Amino acid sequence: MYDIGIIGGGTAGLTAAIYGQRAGKTTLVFESGSFGGQIVSTYRIENYPGIANVSGSDFSGNLLEQAQNLGAETVTEQVTGIRDKDGVKIIVTTGKEYPCKAVIIASGVTQRHMGLEKELKLTGSGVSYCATCDGAFFRGRDVAVIGGGNTALEDAEFLTNYCSKVYVVHRRDEFRGDSTAVDILKKRDNVEFVLSATVKDIVGETMVEGLILSNKKTGQDFQINVSGVFVAIGQIPQNQIFSEYVKLDGAGFILAAEDCVTSHPGVFAAGDCRTKEVRQLTTASADGAVAALAACKYLSRE
């Protein structure tokens, strides 16, 4: 029996484990992939208060080590659901069942796809969702980054270190990301912005050879020749397995406000998986702390 079961080993989940352990509670963190979450693959973090510059892998590694040193336990298993039994919450995985007094869901999000016919077929053959993972394979080639948020801008900056040319394709006239990141790209000689454009098709049968783009203002189609396309058009939650246990909004995010309290007593949501306006590293960390303290308060009443 654990005091707090934490589903998700990203920034929110590991921060919750740290706060839970420091409050004298036993915590168990579930992660089906790599501990650290999406931030692991981030080339450089420069917007976390108190840390001027750190790689995503170093940040995540330090977070995991801190949680484990405090006594948090971790398990690499896929959670398939939660159910109640005799006043206890049972976290169900593909292999076992774990009884917990309180649960924090920090399941994060996954990358949104463009929905093109060849996208899945060419994933790994020119289509990528992780610039820091695959960027070095495109050294000296022309590539495109699809998206207008911070992730897309950061990916483009990273790729300028390897690629001959980086097209940044965005469907709007202006970027949603930080102006500082935009200014950095404007100073790079090998960056070209392609605005008010959407991706209509991918050229190539076995490897990416180019993109067919559509100008939203003129309606005309045109082609850019690239060897790689890095997709950064947003994220979608992974909460369907909890849909009968906690309430979700129309987009699939767990309904929970800044207090991280869900519709189910003793169950809390932290990080990108919950309804919120801002999804950043700092807000994920803050959610982890809030959710853990809320769980501790809930346990004190039991």
Give the start-to-end residue ranges of the domains of the chain: 2-111+235-301, 127-231
Using CA atoms, how far apart are residues 246 and 269, in angstroms rounded to an integer?
Answer: 10
Question: In CATH terms, are 2-111+235-301 and 127-231 the same topology?
Answer: yes
Query: Where does 54-138 show beta strands of DSSP type E?
Result: 73-75, 79-85, 88-93, 97-105, 109-111, 127-128
Averaged over successive runs of 10 residues, the pLDDT of the chain (302 residues) comes to 97 98 98 89 84 92 98 97 95 95 96 93 92 89 96 95 98 94 97 98 97 96 98 92 96 96 98 91 96 97 78
Please name the fold of domain 127-231.
FAD/NAD(P)-binding domain (3.50.50)
Side-chain half-sphere CA neighbours of 269 within 13 A: 28
Helix-then-strand count for the chain, H and E: 6, 17
pLDDT at res. 130: 86
Contacts of 62 (CB under 8 A, 6+ apart): none
Terminal CA-CA length for the chain: 15
pLDDT at res. 70: 98
Which run of H or E residues covers position 231? strand 228-231
Using CA atoms, how far apart are residues 258 and 276, in angstroms rounded to an integer?
Answer: 8
pLDDT at res. 111: 86
pLDDT at res. 44: 79
Using CA atoms, how far apart are residues 181 and 157, in angstroms rounded to an integer?
Answer: 8
- Could you list the active site residues? 130, 133-134
pLDDT at res. 124: 87
pLDDT at res. 179: 95
pLDDT at res. 211: 98
User: What is 2-111+235-301's CATH number?
Assistant: 3.50.50.60
The bridge status of strand 165-169 relative to strand 142-146 is parallel
Radius of gyration of the chain (CA): 21
Q: Is the dihedral of CA 238, 239, 240, 242 positive or negative?
A: positive
262 neighbors 249 (Cβ within 8 angstroms):
no
Q: Record the pTM.
A: 0.79
Place of tokens 């996954």: 110
Q: What is the DSSP letter of 51?
A: B
pLDDT at res. 263: 98
Distance of CA 198 to the CA centre of its chain: 23
pLDDT at res. 5: 98
Give residue 145's identity as a one-letter amino acid code.
V
